[in-house]
């Protein structure tokens, strides 16, 4: 469900016509629908009714401050993976007691910041991390709430780059080590075992692996419960799939049905860390046709957005629907008989710079604006300045109005930190000056 609709000869985001918006804000540009994001949060709540989940939105999917503020108002907590994401949610006044801190390589600086902020818990992914966190907690003089992230060894049947719950992945600890680690957490001073967590991957469209993963995770929690007085949460991670094609995602209620039996009678509250399912289908990227070109049998449409703006097609073989914002609505997938297949590519100097390959598209001309759908998640947050391209603006639409919630970068923004005239100096001459992540 989303609030993008093609009618009256153009594509609309809520009540804003996107051809006019493109003329006003320029291209490329990301446009998000506020109503779609709010709806997705409500739908998640409805689907998991009775389980009363704490929805910790995964900030990495889309970390724009306006989006975070909107989701805080919609009642979300947050799942963060860095000190930078912590600073973002602090800026929008998030309640730290509804925040989980994930990540396989948290630095001492990040642990300290999380503790000082008072996050609900750290998702701990290794023995070494737990020991370091205990030391940091002692140093800061605070108790660290933790969840042990277990790796339940299930195959979520998604792209290999976004599979996390198999034994060979770097995430979490296997179930046997997980139990030992949890018992260590119960004993360690300065540490409070508050939860067990798992996250098996992203864009998962088969609900069955969730059932198995949660069953294994819940069984571990049951074994621990008699010895773990503070164990109150089971965190099932995120990963719910969305529709990139027509209807390739299950109903949210199906995910809930898959995990309900394992949670029955467990007496733990549910946390989830959804990112994509809340924001993914709430975004479109507007891009303008620069020119068309033919090479051998291939037809190319070159547009002004490239892999630096949207890397998902190049990196994960990601599919995003693309259609002109002006003209007829796109036909149902697979019935675009009149539309000749073209490669829709960007201006970046890489053969891997494409948004779509062999894609049916009606005839387009220089200056026409195309809408690249389902780019609310992992699009802007993964964008870069490669080829010295300023990052695109982000626009939030609500009803019949819009706001530019991140401006287009300028050339000055791109060179702001460069020091071409910096003087060479000897090692040690500036000891203590440098900041690092650790």
Q: Give 39-73 as a 3 state SS string.
A: HHHHHHHHHCCCCCCEEEEEHHHCCCHHHHHHHHH
Cβ–Cβ under 8 Å, residues 200 and 152: yes
**Interface with ligand LLP includes 275 (CB under 6 A)?**
yes
Contact flag: residue 47 with ligand LLP (CB under 6 A):
no
Return the axis-axis angle of helices 65-73 and 34-47, rounded to nearest 10°: 40
Enter the DSSP assignment of 226. G
Among 27, 63, 126, 203, binds ligand LLP (CB under 6 A): 203
| Contact indicator for 301, 343 with CB cutoff of 8 Å | yes
Residue closer to ligand LLP by CB (options 274, 371) is 274
Based on CB atoms, which residue is closest to ligand LLP, 27 or 235? Answer: 235
The CA–CA distances, whole Å, from 163 to 297, 363, 426 equal 36, 38, 45
Strands (E) in 121-257, as ranges, are: 121-124, 144-151, 173-174, 191-197, 233-235
Q: What is the 3-state secondary structure (H, E, C) of 318-361?
A: CCCCEEECECCCCCCCCCCCCCEEEEEECCCCCCCCEEEEEEEE
Q: CB under 6 A: which stretch of 17-25, 196-204, 362-370, 415-423 binds ligand LLP?
A: 196-204
Compute how many residues bind ligand LLP; rule: CB under 6 A: 22
Decide: is 101 part of the binding site for ligand LLP (CB under 6 A): no
Site for ligand LLP in 379-438 (CB under 6 A): none
Q: How far is the CB of 66 from ligand LLP (least distance, A)?
A: 19
Instruction: Pick from 18, 21, 59, 61 the residue near ligand LLP by CB under 6 A.
Output: 61
Q: How many residues does the chain have?
A: 438
The interface mask with ligand LLP, positions 310-349, x = CB under 6 A, is --x---x---------------------------------
List the catalytic residue out of 13, 76, 198, 349.
349
Is 76 one of the catalytic residues?
no
In the list 178, 238, 376, 393, the residue contacting ligand LLP (rule: CB under 6 A) is: 238
237 vs 360 by CB, closer to ligand LLP: 237
What residues make contact with ligand LLP under the rule CB under 6 A? 58, 61, 79, 102, 162, 164, 199, 202-203, 237-240, 273-277, 312, 316, 377-378
């Amino acid at each position: 469900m989303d609030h993008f609709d093609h009618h009256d000869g153009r594509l609309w985001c809520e009540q804003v016509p996107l051809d006019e918006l493109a003329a006003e804000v320029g291209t490329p540009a990301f446009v998000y629908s506020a109503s779609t994001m709010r709806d997705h949060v409500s739908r998640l709540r409805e689907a998991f009714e009775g389980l009363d989940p704490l929805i910790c939105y995964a900030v990495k999917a889309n970390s724009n401050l306006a989006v975070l503020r909107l989701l805080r108002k919609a009642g979300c907590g947050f799942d963060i993976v860095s000190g930078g994401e912590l600073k973002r949610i602090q800026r929008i006044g998030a309640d730290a007691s509804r925040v989980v801190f994930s990540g396989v390589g948290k630095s001492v600086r990040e642990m300290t910041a999380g503790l000082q902020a008072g996050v609900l818990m750290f998702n701990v992914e290794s023995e070494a991390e737990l020991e370091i966190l205990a030391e940091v907690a002692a140093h800061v003089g605070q108790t660290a709430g933790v969840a042990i992230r277990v790796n339940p060894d299930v195959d979520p049947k998604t792209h290999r780059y976004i599979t996390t719950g198999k034994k060979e992945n770097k995430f979490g600890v296997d179930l046997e080590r997980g139990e030992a680690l949890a018992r260590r957490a119960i004993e360690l001073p300065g540490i409070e075992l508050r939860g067990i967590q798992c996250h098996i991957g992203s864009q998962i469209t088969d609900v069955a692996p969730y059932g198995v993963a949660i069953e294994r995770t819940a069984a571990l929690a049951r074994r621990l419960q008699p010895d773990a007085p503070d164990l109150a949460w089971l965190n099932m991670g995120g990963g719910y799939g969305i529709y990139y094609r027509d209807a390739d995602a299950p109903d949210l209620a199906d995910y809930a049905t898959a995990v309900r039996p394992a949670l029955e009678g467990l007496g733990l509250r549910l946390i989830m860390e959804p990112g994509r399912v809340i924001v993914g289908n709430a975004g479109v990227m507007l891009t303008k046709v620069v020119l068309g070109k033919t090479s051998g049998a291939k037809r190319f449409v070159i547009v002004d957005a490239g892999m630096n703006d949207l890397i998902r097609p190049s990196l994960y073989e990601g599919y995003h629907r693309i259609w002109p914002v002006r003209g007829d609505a796109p036909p149902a997938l697979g019935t675009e008989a009149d539309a000749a297949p073209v490669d829709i590519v960007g201006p970046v100097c890489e053969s891997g710079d494409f948004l779509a390959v062999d894609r049916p598209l009606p005839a387009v001309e220089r200056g026409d604006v195309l809408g690249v759908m389902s780019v609310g998640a992992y699009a802007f947050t993964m964008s870069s300045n490669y080829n010295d391209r300023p990052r695109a603006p982000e626009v939030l639409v609500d009803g019949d109005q819009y706001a530019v919630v991140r401006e287009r970068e300028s050339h000055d923004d791109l060179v702001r930190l460069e020091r071409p005239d910096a003087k060479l100096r000897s090692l040690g001459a500036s000891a203590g000056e440098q900041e690092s992540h650790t």
